[in-house]
Chain A
Amino acid sequence: MDLSYKNIESLIVSGENRLSKWLGYFGLGVGVLLLLVSMQMFVNIGQLLKENTPRKSGGFDFISISKTITNENMGKDNSFTNKDLAMLKAEPSIAEVAPLISNKFRVRATAGDIIPFSTDLFLESIDNNFIDTVPPTFTWQPGQMVVPVIFSSDFLEMYNVFAPAQGLPQLSEKTISSVNIILECSGPYGTQNFKGNIVALSDRINSLLVPQSFMNWSNFLLMKDTAVHASRVYIKTKDANDPKLISYLDQQNYHLNKDKVKFSRVKSLLQNIVSALGVFGILVIILALMLFSFYLQLMIAKSKDNLRLLLTLGYSPQWLTKSVARTWLPVYLTIILVALILTEILHLLFRQLAFVKSSDLSYFPDWSVLFAAIFLFSLTIFINVKLVKKELVKIL
């Protein structure tokens, strides 16, 4: 028959200080719950705001800057020079810089037969790496009559707002690609018509984008101009909310559209709040474990004589350590399981909130939360075994 801890359980005095034991349980429960819930909420916030942050991709923010127009510089050339671009590239918080090159020639667009619409417009081009949606068809070679265009989804939204008042049909994201636009490009050195084909919509860049090869070719052909005159520059940065970056841009008198980074600001603010909650949870767990350790020390001190006699009679110190430490195992397991269940309930309630698109969030807690729960369980057991062992060695 295996040696059972039950035989000697009555020899280990559980102590009168039950308050510290129950406070320890409560503290551990609250701490674990805070930590798990904050981890889950951190993941949820990241998940929810991910879809709405087109400027964020691969861990980078893409934001556009322009020179601030003041009464003093109004009417002057406020485009970025090569020197300006070089200085921006040299700034450590900026990973990459790409100017938006605009057309120097006149562009007039008509929508053909489907929509009776014609307007003067502008075209721009930028390094493909800065565009969030680049289909393989977004290329152009001289001689090609069809020019692929990437259209800003904000523009489409604006168009759909004023279209009914102008007697024009509203367009969906799908139908816009079937609209053929005639681009009439004219300059002092000639006129040429192209067929514009909208190949994608961009959430990131508010413009009508054409391939760089087309822009260079047509600017040269129609205007004989190859100089870079960018009134807008896109920068790629790790964090658009980096105070150093913002103060640098302010110093240079560059204008950054703060609305563009509002989402990331909200997200980072929320994530900072839940992180702080998580840190608080960790502190509470540490305090609870300390309380436990005091209780354990007291318990072993009170049972010192009995434990010493058990060791004298031939009970193995290792077995005693394991057995005493194991008595807490169901308590820890219960506390962590209850915290995990409460986290899941809170997560499911969060999914029901009005502003949450529940399809973005899984039914189950994130794997990192489960991992944290397992880790906390192992940690508490490990600390317990170490503590009991240390206390037993003391009485030997």
Chain B
Amino acid sequence: MQIRLQEVTPDYIEKEKRIESQLWEQNISINKGEHLHIVAPSGSGKTSLIHFIYGLRKDYRGSIFYDNTEIKKLSTESFSAFRKDKISIIFQDLRLFENQTAKRNIEIKRMLNPYHKAEEIMIMAKRLGIGNKLDQPVKTCSYGEQQRIAIIRALMQPFDFLLLDEPYSHLDEANKKKSMELIYDECSKRNAAMIFADLKPLDFFKNEKIIYL
């Protein structure tokens, strides 16, 4: 699978920012197995871009393609199929079911299209240091713990692309590293591409491509 951005630019962005950007109004292709790092300060449209690619927002000009399909033309049903089989995401705002336990949150995603067995949840949770948090309601976990729950959730399904929107904002360096390693391992297993948006370049991100918004 390939994701292609064709002269994409948000409706709301000022002309000045558009001109300076290495991404807006450009033609960019991301193929399976590639790692793309998008770096930009707050408010420059990182989350918007991730949401455009994931199909949550349509307030942009230009086109985004999944292979040869323009995603604005995709039905909600087709989107759900892509999100189940091809594209996974870690949201900046996490989007967890607050009243459910950490395990249940992860399981809800895993059941949709199981790539891993249920036991893998505990293995990953232990690896990220939240093994003892799985049976706790998410709302009682710290934001950093919730971020790690969201990471594990995103890795439960098969995917060709993993979208990461500032996934480590509340993690310390050690946990950032552990999380990144887990994500790398999982992407390598699937030969999946990573589109990683963050405020600044991450030292241990083995990016092939870095783009400044």
**Does A pair with B?**
yes
User: A residues bordering B, Cβ < 8 Å?
Assistant: 1, 3-4, 7-8, 10-11, 306, 309-318, 396
Interface status of B97 (Cβ within 8 A of chain A): yes
**A74→B113 CA distance, assembly (Å):** 98
Please tell me which stretch of B23-31, B76-84, B179-187 contacts chain A, meaning at least 4 of its Cβ atoms lie within 8 angstroms of it: B76-84
**A315–B107 CB distance below 8 A:** no
CB-based nearest A residue for B109:
A313
Q: List 5 A-B contacts (CB under 8 A).
A: A311-B80, A312-B83, A313-B108, A317-B80, A318-B77
**A11→B76 CA distance, assembly (Å):** 21
From the candidates B77, B112, B114, name the one contacting A313 in the complex (CB within 8 A): B112
Query: Distance in Å from the Cβ of A6 to the closest Cβ of chain B?
Result: 10
**B97–A316 CB distance below 8 A:** no
**B109–A4 CB distance below 8 A:** no
Interface status of B13 (Cβ within 8 A of chain A): no
Check A11/B100 contact, CB under 8 A, given A316-B77, A316-B80: yes
CB-based nearest B residue for A309:
B95
From the candidates B81, B107, B114, name the one contacting A316 in the complex (CB within 8 A): B81
**A315–B80 CB distance below 8 A:** yes
**B76–A311 CB distance below 8 A:** yes
Which residues of B, 163-209, contact A by the 8 Å Cβ criterion?
A: none
**B112–A314 CB distance below 8 A:** yes
Residues of A within 8 A of B56 (CB): 312
Interface status of B146 (Cβ within 8 A of chain A): no
Interface size on B, residues (CB 8 A): 19
**A311→B76 CA distance, assembly (Å):** 9
**A174→B26 CA distance, assembly (Å):** 104
CB-based nearest B residue for A396:
B76
Interface status of B147 (Cβ within 8 A of chain A): no
Residues of B within 8 A of A312 (CB): 56, 83, 95
- Tell which of B56, B76, B80, B100 has the most Cβ of chain A within 10 Å: B80
Residues of A within 8 A of B83 (CB): 312-314
**A309→B94 CA distance, assembly (Å):** 11
Query: Distance in Å from the Cβ of A1 to the closest Cβ of chain B?
Result: 7
Which residues of B, 102-148, contact A by the 8 Å Cβ criterion?
A: 107-109, 111-114
Interface status of B63 (Cβ within 8 A of chain A): no
**A3–B112 CB distance below 8 A:** yes
**A7→B97 CA distance, assembly (Å):** 13
Interface status of B9 (Cβ within 8 A of chain A): no
**A3–B76 CB distance below 8 A:** no
Residues of A within 8 A of B77 (CB): 316-318
Residues of A within 8 A of B157 (CB): 314
CB-based nearest B residue for A316:
B80
From the candidates B80, B97, B111, B112, name the one contacting A309 in the complex (CB within 8 A): B97
**B108–A7 CB distance below 8 A:** yes
Residues of B within 8 A of A311 (CB): 76, 80
What 8 A-B pairs have minimum CB-CB distances, sorted nearest first? A314-B83, A314-B84, A316-B80, A7-B111, A317-B76, A314-B80, A314-B112, A309-B95
Residues of A within 8 A of B82 (CB): 314
CB-based nearest A residue for B87:
A314
Which residues of B, 51-94, contact A by the 8 Å Cβ criterion?
A: 56, 76-77, 80-84
**A11→B112 CA distance, assembly (Å):** 15
**A1–B80 CB distance below 8 A:** no
Query: Distance in Å from the Cβ of A311 to the closest Cβ of chain B?
Result: 7
**A116→B77 CA distance, assembly (Å):** 95
Query: Distance in Å from the Cβ of A121 to the closest Cβ of chain B?
Result: 86
From the candidates A1, A4, A306, A396, name the one contacting B114 in the complex (CB within 8 A): A1
**A88→B101 CA distance, assembly (Å):** 86
Residues of B within 8 A of A309 (CB): 95, 97
Not counting A313-B83, A313-B109, A316-B81, a sample of 19 additional A-B residue pairs whose C-beta atoms are within 8 angstroms of each other reads A1-B111, A7-B107, A7-B108, A7-B111, A11-B97, A311-B80, A312-B56, A312-B95, A313-B108, A314-B80, A314-B82, A314-B84, A314-B109, A315-B80, A315-B84, A315-B112, A316-B77, A317-B76, A317-B80
Residues of B within 8 A of A310 (CB): 108
CB-based nearest B residue for A8:
B108
Query: Distance in Å from the Cβ of B72 to the closest Cβ of chain A?
Result: 15
**A190→B81 CA distance, assembly (Å):** 103
**A309→B157 CA distance, assembly (Å):** 16
Residues of A within 8 A of B108 (CB): 7-8, 11, 310, 313
**A222→B127 CA distance, assembly (Å):** 123
CB-based nearest B residue for A6:
B111
Query: Distance in Å from the Cβ of A322 to the closest Cβ of chain B?
Result: 12
CB-based nearest A residue for B154:
A313
Residues of B within 8 A of A316 (CB): 77, 80-81, 84
Residues of B within 8 A of A314 (CB): 80-84, 109, 112-113, 157
Query: Distance in Å from the Cβ of B4 to the closest Cβ of chain A?
Result: 21
Residues of B within 8 A of A313 (CB): 83, 108-109, 112
**A10→B108 CA distance, assembly (Å):** 11
Residues of B within 8 A of A3 (CB): 111-112
Residues of A within 8 A of B84 (CB): 314-316
